[in-house]
Structure formats: C-alpha cells, structure tokens
Amino acid sequence: MITRFFRWRIMLLTMLLVLNIVGILYALASNNVLGPIVAIVSVALMVIVIIDFFLPTMKAIKSVTNAMNRINSEVQTNIQGQSLTTPIASLETLRISNNKEDFGLTKAFNHMSHAVSSTVDNLSMERDTLAVVLDTMADGVISIDSEGKISIFNNTAKDMFGISDRALIGLRLVDTVNDYEILDLVSQAQIQTKTLHSDVEIISTKTLLHVTATPIGDNAYGGVLLTIHDQTEMKLIETSRREFVSNVSHELRSPIASIAALLELLSDGALEDSDTALDFVNRMTLDAKRMASIVSDLLELSMIESGQLNIELKEMNLLEVVADSMNYVNNQNSDDKAEIKVSIDSNIVVMGHKDKLLQILVNLIQNASRFTDKDDYIYINSQMDLDDSHVMVSVRDTGTGIPQEHLPHLFERFYKVDRSRRDEGTGLGLSIVKNLVQMHGGDLSVDSVEGEGSTFTFTLMVP
C-alpha cells in the first residue's frame, strides 16, 4: 500500500517538474514580457507540488512511526508483565483511524504475535511434559552443563541422595553430590567423550546405585547426562536368593550325609546285627522325616509368599481353637514338658481360618515348650486392643530367652538362634507363622529378655 502510494505521487511529481522546467526554459529563452511571469509561476507550482508530495509522505511516515512506537511500547509492557493479559487483545487496539498502512502493520504484527504465542505455548507444554516425565521416572536423572552446573535434577535423584526438596538448578554438582566416585565418573566422561558406567554405594542412604554418565555433544569438557538406577532391592533379592540356596543346601546336606553314612555301615556288615540295624533304620527314618518336613515347609512358604495360598476367614471361638492346639501339642510332647496356663475370655470370637490358626498357635507353643523347663510355665493370654478392632494373643514362656541381637532376624527363613540345635525345627516355622498372621489381617511381634523368657504376640481381627 505504501509503495503504490509513493509510486503515483512520484510519477505526478516527475511530470510536473518536467513541465515546470520546460516552462522556465521557455520563459528564459523568450524575449516576451510574459517570460519572467511564466518562470515565476512555474517555480511556484514546482514548490507547491513538492510540498504536496512531502507533507502526506511525512504524515504517512509519522503514522507508521507512531504505530511502531506504540507496538514497541505494548511489547515492552507485555514482556515486563505489567498490564497486558494477551498480546492479541492489546494489538487490536493499535488500529489508527482510517489509516490502512497502520492497520496493515498492526495486523501483520498481530499475526506474528499469534505465531510466537503458539510456539511459546507448545514449548511450555513440552517443558512441563518433560518435567512430569522426569519426576515420575523410577531412575534418577541429572544433567550438568560444561561448567558443572546443574540443569536437571529430578525428584528420584533427590531421594537417592537424601536431598530435601529445594531448588538445585544452577548449583554446581560438586557442591550438591558429595561422592567422589560419581564426580570422577563425570570428569572421565567429559575427558574421554564416551559413555561410562559404574556401581556406586551411597553410605549415607545405604543404597547401591548403577550410574551411567553420557557426554552431551562431541567436545571434551562439555555437558554430561547422568542416569542412575537404584540396585539396592535387586542386590537384596540376589543376596537373599544366595542365602536361601545356601541354607537349603545346609539343612538337607546333614540328613542326607547321615543317611548315606548309615547305609554304608549297614552294607559293611552292620545289617547282620539286628539291634544295630534297627537303630540305624530308625535314625534314617528320622532324617527322612526331617527332609520331608523341610520340603513341606518350603512349599508352604513359597505358596504363601507368591500369593497362591488363599484362605477364607470365618467367625470362631478363640478359646476353643487354643484348647485344640494345646491338645495337639500335649499329644506330641512327652510328659516332662512345661505346663500351659490359659487366660482367655470364653466369649471372644475372632475371624480366622481354623487349620491355619491352629498352625500358628501350635508352632508358638512348641517353640515355647522347647526352651522352657518342665518346672516352669507357658502362659497364653488375650486382650482387646484400644479400638476394639483386634484381639491381641500372647504366648509367653519363662525359659532361656533370646539375646537382643537375634530379635531383628527371628522371622527370617532358616534363622536359628542356636545353630547347634540342628535336630529341632527347620528354621522356617516362625517365618511361616508371620506370613499366616498377616494373611489373617494381623501382625506378629516378639519381646524377650535373655534368662527371663520370651513373649510372642499376634493380633486377630474381630467380627
């Protein structure tokens, strides 16, 4: 529009200038008295034409300049966040009355504002999406620039290093992560410009981390991206698996070795002596039963821990279940075992699976009997908890007690306080009991004083 405006005005000006110049030359060359008058008139017309050309031009330039100044003012205000809500709404007010050039400039800038706003919104959305993705990742992510300053530090990484929820962007990694192995890994990745891996143990949080340092770019001493995977649980599982295999091998090796030795003695002539042979057979039978008991307990524990064992809880009288468990233990034990005293309200009803509840009580009573002298007592008591939602059942003995250092490990598989007592128990009983109690919606705990006795307490839900 501005170009077309200037074009026709320049053409008109050129034509008039040519005519004026011709008129002036004619006037000067003519001896006519009108010559000077024509020259003066031509000059005056030329001045008027020039003024007529420049005044609208200056006005148009001033209009455009004013529009640009106002747009610049609006943009600066928008950048400073002082008054405008959106760039589009503000630019629509920049139209100058009946001035197509100003309107076109405003419209063009408004269109550009739309494009820029859309781009900024998309970038903002991508940034927010990236932040959410990083903060919900199971792995820690840390990014540093060439100066060693943090540009990304997600929440998982903060938890791994025990860092409180504070702003870390812009801080130096060396001032945030106080671990020489990680800092050295970052340095080596920058120097070698290749991805490096390392397993790092964080002493403060007792975690084992697998750290991958990846250089950002191809230049030495550039930025580095750290991805950190917590291997603590995996390491614990691996350690537990090795211990489990070792314990199973140990528990089965003894009876198998005993049976093999007795069979060899029988084959070497002991079979001829009927009394000796019968004794060997009885001992092999006990070893075989022990192995069968270990395998049975292992299968049951495996089914419980894998969720394959489901039980249906029903209402039942607690005292009746305790009486049945006492009868079972008394039938299994000899007469020289400690007496059992029961203090349970006959009206207490609990939610339970009878066979599994019997198994819990029998195991705890047998453990108490095993470590209590025949002249002492075993006490079975119950009481309601504070909110009357559970019944607390305790089996207390007055036996040898358990040293404090053993209590945290008492419910672990194959754990035995006295390793010399290999002929009694598989080391799986208390682990099974704890799992069965949890399947009943309760919990199992132990309190013991060495030399005074132990108390095992478990809770059961009431209807």
Hey, what amino acid is at 174? V
pLDDT per residue as tens digits for the range 301-323 = 778 777 777 888 999 999 999 99
pLDDT of residue 270: 77
pLDDT for the residue 152: 87
Q: Judge contact between 220 and 193, C-beta under 8 A.
A: yes
Do 429 and 367 form a contact (C-beta atoms < 8 A)? yes
Distance between alpha carbon 77 and the CA centroid of its chain, in Å? 42
Per-residue pLDDT tens over the stretch 391-440: 999 999 988 888 888 888 888 777 776 644 444 566 778 888 998 999 89
In this prediction, residue 88 carries a pLDDT of: 41
pLDDT mean over 216-232: 85
> Which segments of 337-420 does DSSP mark as H helices, in order?
354-370
Q: Do domains 137-230 and 314-461 have the same CATH topology?
A: no
Closest by CA to 228, choosing from 205, 248, 244, is 205
The residues near 67 (Cβ < 8 Å, ≥ 6 apart) are 94, 96, 102, 105, 106
Percent of the chain with pLDDT over 70: 74
Architecture of domain 314-461: 2-Layer Sandwich (3.30)
CB 37 within 8 Å of CB 95? no
Query: What's the pLDDT at 446?
Result: 92
Radius of gyration for the alpha carbons in the chain, expressed in angstroms and rounded: 47
Class of domain 137-230: alpha beta
Domain boundaries, the chain: 2-120, 137-230, 235-305, 314-461
User: What average pLDDT is seen over the chain?
Assistant: 78
Q: Is domain 235-305 classified as CATH 1.10.287.130? A: yes
Query: Which CA distances in Å does 457 have to 378, 413, 445?
Result: 13, 19, 5
Q: What is the mean pLDDT of residues 58-78?
A: 65
Quick one: pLDDT band at residue 177, thresholds 50, 70, 90? Answer: confident
- Tokens 């410009």 found at: 193
pLDDT at 193 (0 to 100): 87
Alpha carbons 272 and 268: distance in angstroms, whole number: 9
